[in-house]
Chains A and B, each alone.
Chain A
């Protein structure tokens, strides 16, 4: 935490930069701004526990103001935790060492829509749905629709290598980001020019995509746009097991068909998410598909995909379950009386692997997590020609807070260990934040030293989001 004298000086200096109204040292503001969407944070809030808070919040309105704030923080070696929507699921915006919470929500402008190149340039603080509605008015979509669309923002999407529910067709945020403006920890502003592709050395923007505020602050970005599809169709296929479903997915994608939605629910998740609305045989696994684009293309892709599924032993459920999921895709994100009762806690470990390892990862993690008496259900989503992601969802309820948090940690530890042993990577789209920070050495091996060295060069005073992504952990 920052001492009172430094805090007072900082407040004066930062007020000169962003205006007095845009600096807060109020305890209530600090508490409210700590709020994120990490399930552990949410469970702790319900239990009446305080989350870690900053010493002050600063709300800049421009890139120049961000730069000035970082210069002052760097000069005084005060930790800076950037925050956008505050909707991260891994604790990445929790100011665990106090200091400044740099909140970029005021930087919410759409700066330019390029109708010729199909791109949009916007500031990092714009909320996902604000950006999507703005481009929708012009007949476009960003193609990026994560469950947190209403809460998370553009800077956060990029900082965490976010993925939307239609990433199989449109791509993840790293595929959608063409250019970036970043403020470095010493206040320098750099631009990674918006380009479709290039061959001018390493792609610097990819250093910042996924850096989670540890290497700088993403203040604006140029993103791809797509015309709003003329048609979106839905198809649902039910398989006797995960193996046959995955076989069909692999064949669809490897034949050059890219559905916008590909979600295969294992038996538990099918029972929980689908069987309450549709008549599904116990043990069956539902595959939900959607296809976007010109009507002729959509019709052909749906027909060919259905043929592949039937060949792999599927039963055809037509559009029902898939369409219902689409219409209710945000519902699961809301708290319910069941999931918030007592000291209940659940989370999702969103791992990713190539097809040769994917089923092994699934079975290994499931066994490791269920060993703690957790309810585990999974779906395979965000699928690509070479592999895909699994949402390993778990839920546990314990009699005390201490037992709940400890059980939660054990499930995570053993789940990640099983994932890494079986050859998976521990996150596809949620990022690292605090929840995966301690696993970074195990995930990266010797290569993590390269990341550390980059961090030391760009942020020698270690001010940027310390303790996250395994970087800048303090004693």
Chain B
């Protein structure tokens, strides 16, 4: 958390920058205007701070035209984290009840159904087919997108953990949304309520660790929860980290062709995990890994973050399409990512020009192909 004085100093500096990071801002790409840009966001907050121009409805809209992807931070020499500043300002906007209508519905859905999709909570674990019976228990915290929209990722992850890695996999019916959509859009109070539920639940289960397949969940469980004094009593890992640790169990070169890898913002820039998924892809692909022009901390966001797809679906899709184009330019056969949220949007925008698969799905496919040989 950064205090208000620190924020004021940072936006003052960012607001008057000659736009050194704008070229990587995905919302600048989508709108081609100086409003939804890092310096635009800073300027609007700076003028609000100085009383020069109070935040009006368009100003609020501009602050929600941000993916909080932190790509700008990679290109910022003074290291001004506009994503965090936007998030802190969104919190004030929500506290004042001035957030966009579309987000109110999302928050209400999480409050009522414990997921942002207005799906019945009773259906959350409908994808669960089997549970392992290994000696060591792990909790698989599947997250909302894998549970309701990308169930193949949830199924693949659970199956790998139990069948390939030999864990006793615990999936709780009482898992709630991790709170990421709420935190990223400024709904702190509701986010903390759902966080407290999850922490109580996760801490009450006897398991050696918590595994997630969603980088949004990973960031929230490992960074946001502790930042708000909510401590988990077991370590949290992303599935890519677990797979890297046990890489010798994965079939080498089992999938024909080449793959390129899309770094999810929450996994890469926010959690610093770049090599584990790459090592897994390299291991599984017969033709190896081909990097996109913009990769690792310079990777473009998929467009599906921080409420943008909810509020501005056309622009989110434009951004996703551009990322798919970047993948196609590598001539790879597959676009691999390690995030259900990214996979969902990239797959929708690929129009079957390149096959989009999430990492656990790739591992499962590799196992199936190896079994056929």
Contacts and interface: CB of A to CB of B under 8 A. Distances in A.
Taking residues whose C-beta sits less than 8 angstroms from the other chain, chain B's interface range is: 35 or more
B43 A335 contact: no
A-B interface, 10 closest residue pairs, ranked by CB to CB distance from nearest: A48-B50, A37-B18, A42-B16, A151-B19, A28-B58, A105-B32, A334-B77, A26-B58, A45-B16, A32-B40
B32 A108 contact: yes
A28 B53 contact: yes
Nearest to A106: B32
Given A28-B53, A31-B43, A335-B13, A151 B22 contact: yes
B16 A46 contact: yes
A105 B33 contact: yes
A103 B33 contact: yes
Interface in B5-46: 12-23, 32-35, 37, 39-40, 43-44, 46
Contacts of B19: 35, 37, 85-87, 150-151
Contacts of B75: 150
Interface in A1-53: 24, 26-29, 31-33, 35, 37, 41-43, 45-46, 48-50
A85 B28 CA distance: 11
A45 B20 contact: no
Interface stretch (A124-132, A180-188, A209-217, A405-413): A124-132
A253 to B, nearest CB: 30
Interface of B: 12-23, 32-35, 37, 39-40, 43-44, 46-47, 50-53, 56, 58-59, 62, 75-78, 293, 329
B293 A49 contact: no
Contacts of B62: 28, 32
A340 interface: yes
B285 to A, nearest CB: 23
Given A29-B35, A32-B62, A336-B78, 16 more contacts: A26-B58, A28-B44, A28-B53, A28-B59, A37-B18, A42-B17, A45-B43, A48-B46, A48-B51, A59-B32, A106-B32, A148-B18, A150-B23, A151-B19, A334-B17, A340-B16
Interface string A224-261: 00000000000000000000000000000000000000
Interface string A133-161: 10001000000000010110000000000
Contacts of A330: 20
Contacts of A86: 19, 34
Contacts of A130: 23
Contacts of A125: 32
A86 B32 CA distance: 12
Contacts of B77: 331, 334
A125 B31 CA distance: 13
A335 B35 contact: no
10 contacts: A24-B33, A31-B47, A32-B37, A33-B35, A35-B15, A37-B19, A46-B13, A125-B32, A130-B23, A334-B76
A127 B19 CA distance: 12
A151 B18 CA distance: 7
Contact of B12 (A28, A57, A340): A340
Contacts of B43: 31-32, 35, 45
A118 B14 CA distance: 39
Interface string A337-353: 10010000000000000
Nearest to A133: B293
B13 A28 contact: no
Interface string A343-373: 0000000000000000000000000000000
B210 to A, nearest CB: 40
A333 to B, nearest CB: 6
Nearest to B77: A334
From A43, A48, A125, residue with most partner B Cβ within 10 Å: A48
A107 to B, nearest CB: 9
